[in-house]
Chain A
Amino acid sequence: MTEPIPSAAETSPAAPVLTLEDVHVRYGGSHILQDVSFDVPATGVTALLGRNGVGKTTTLRSIIGLAPRSGRILLEGNEIQDRTTARIVRGGIGYVPEDREVFGGLTVDENLRLVDPDRGVDAPVVARLFPDLVSRRGQRAGTLSGGEQQMVALARVLLRDNVLLLVDEPTKGLAPKLVTEVADVLAEVARSTPILLVEQNLPLVRRIADRVVVLDAGAVVHRGAAADLVADADLTRELLGVSMRREGAA
């Protein structure tokens, strides 16, 4: 059995940037999220972990307003659960979805100009973090490699001033070298903007995450320091069904 779940205040001493209180998500007859409550501190990376299908992506989508939910969601103390997705994003939450979802028919520059109409790929943050995109500005995003598409998806949200980033499986399907590059970018971004990260790659979690929240069957079953979880092989196996020794490097 796992240890009792500590309260949000015990694991998040600073004022949280995001708070979920008793969040439920139902699709038809399925109860996907059940009474989910946790805080995301205002600094560093919080990793949202769990086996496949436990509700990690749904949690992010409920925060951003893309999943029908009940309960309270607070961003910097303000309730956002009744706002539209666009308003939530303009309020400071950047969202990088699973599978990138770049606009394949638009060029790299056009993908970025959707968020920053004046600068697009010429924005300083693009040159600093994603220099390869500058030379591919006129290329259709649908013709980019998976890693490059991930860079577009990340660059797109970084063009806005965010108070929190939601990043869903950014390394899914990427080659090891690209995983490292994405991890570097996330670590750099996390120095100024807190991140709620859904990720299956435990070595990456160990490298960049400060805290973890583990879901199982739509409910929070563990909260704590990332280092403590990944250092405890038995707990990792029990909560996630994997062993760190079998995971690749980030």
Chain B
Amino acid sequence: MSDLVLLLVTGLGLGALYFIAASGLSLIYGLMGVLNFAHGVFMTAGAYASWLTMGALPVEWPVAVRLVVGVLVAVAVGAVVGLVVEVVLIRPLYRHHIQQVLVTVGLSLAGVAAAQGIWGADPRPVEKPGWMSGTTVVLGARLPNDRFVYVLVAVALFAGLLALLHLTRLGLVIRAGVENRTMVEALGINVHRTFTIVFALGGAAAGLAGVLYSQYAGSVSPAQGSSLLIFAFIVVVIGGTGSLAGTAVAAVVVGLVQQLANYYAASGVGDLSVVLLLALVLLLRPTSLKGATA
């Protein structure tokens, strides 16, 4: 019983990370039709920004405080990187989908190479607050505390994005744009401004995901964002592009399947199980779990 509880909570924590990474990706593709392979670079940028910030702050400050500041910086860096990429690289290429893919793939490769050139290829350890390194016993299972943090952050992000989508004018335009962005423009709404904002939002969420994933892994490394991006893409495809609720459900399912398969089958089978799950969903329901509604 304790093993199952442990697996469920750690799977939920992993799913939370996937959701944070995939939420921005889903909105960007749903609204703009941009398959953003550079999303991993946004995550890596956030992770390194947080690591550098934590290292630059006075060591007398508690690690938790430095991490919070690091998260804020990572979110800001992610947003700025997203905004710049949209304005400089993506905007000139709307309607040119192949070129968009090539540009974002190129940026993802260049980002990893740049990080390797500046900080080296080896993982750099990150500091973790004491409480997050500890465990809490629930139903006989010793549960890692950091998983609760990931879940809480993901729930807060989910609620925040839902509020944005359903309670604000920007959210209304995004939801309409996910359905039919040409018609949004035909109603006199500058949809390109919305594109930029959504890209910045996606970058901010990616920056947050980068920090939390580095906390999960215990280190930052140049290719970290790329490895998380693969699972984020799988989550987006299973959940339905542009569907926040679908993304959340898919992230939890993927996280749980991965953890359970790794434990009950063999270590490493989790990744294979996720790919099989993706294939199964695409075969049985090609329009994904939720369709394409935000």
Interface residues as binary, A203-223 with B (CB distance below 8 Å gives 1, 0 otherwise): 000000000000000000000
The answer to whether A86 and B172 touch across the interface, beta carbons within 8 angstroms, is no
Interface residues on A, range: 20 to 34
Chain A residue at smallest Cβ distance from B191:
A86
A106 with B189: CB separation less than 8 A? no
Q: Is the CB of A106 within 8 A of B188?
A: no
Judged by a CB distance under 8 angstroms, whether A130 is at the interface is: no
Residues B186 and A64 in contact, CB atoms below 8 Å apart: yes
Closest residue of chain A to B176 (Cβ to Cβ) is A103
| A-chain residues with CB within 8 Å of residue B179 when the two chains form the complex | 103-106
Which secondary structure dominates chain B's binding surface?
helix
User: Per-residue 0/1 for A60-83: is the Cβ within 8 Å of any B Cβ (1 yes, 0 no)?
Assistant: 000010100000000000000000
Chain B nearest CB: distance from A45 CB in Å? 21
Assess whether A173 is interfacial by the CB under 8 Å rule.
Answer: no
Decide: A86 near B190, CB < 8 A? Known: A101-B183, A105-B179: yes
Q: Among the listed stretches A46-54, A111-119, A183-191, which one makes contact with chain B, having 4 or more residues with CB under 8 Å of it?
A: A111-119
Report the bound CA distance from A104 to B182 in whole Å: 14
Which A residues are CB-close (under 8 A) to B185? 84-86, 89
Q: Which residues of B contact A156 (CB under 8 A)?
A: 187
Kindly state the separation between the CA atoms of A64 and B188 in the bound complex, as whole angstroms.
10
Tell whether, in the assembled complex, residue B187 and residue A114 are in contact, meaning their CB atoms are under 8 Å apart: yes
A105 to chain B: which residues have CB within 8 Å? 175, 179, 293-294
Q: Which of A66, A84, A106, A117 contacts B169 (CB 8 A)?
A: A117
A38 contacts the other chain (Cβ, under 8 Å)?
no
- Contacting pair A106 B186 (CB below 8 A): no
Q: Smallest Cβ distance from B169 to chain A, in angstroms?
A: 5
Q: Taking CB as reference atom, which chain B residue is nearest A105?
A: B293
Query: Once bound together, how far apart are the Cα atoms of A114 and B174, in whole Å?
Result: 11
Q: How far is the CA of A85 from the CA of B179 in the complex (A)?
A: 18
A103 touching B186, Cβ below 8 Å = no
Closest to A160 in B: B188
**Given the contacts A101-B180, A103-B183, A89 and B175 also touching, CB distance less than 8 Å:** no
Do A97 and B186 touch across chains, with their CB atoms under 8 A apart? yes
The chain B residue with its CB closest to the CB of A100 is B183
- Complex CA gap A85/B184 in Å reads 10
Q: Is the CB of B189 within 8 A of A86?
A: yes
Chain A residues within 8 Å of B183, by CB: 97, 101, 103
Contact residues of B with A, CB < 8 Å? 169, 172-173, 175-176, 179-180, 182-192, 293-294
11 of the cross-chain contacts (CB-CB < 8 Å) are: A66-B182, A84-B185, A97-B183, A97-B186, A101-B180, A103-B179, A105-B179, A110-B175, A113-B172, A114-B172, A157-B187
A contacts, CB < 8 Å to B? 64, 66, 84-86, 89-90, 95, 97, 101, 103-106, 110-111, 113-115, 117, 156-157, 160
Known contacts A86-B189, A113-B172; 8 additional CB pairs below 8 A are A84-B190, A89-B185, A95-B186, A97-B183, A101-B180, A105-B294, A106-B179, A110-B176
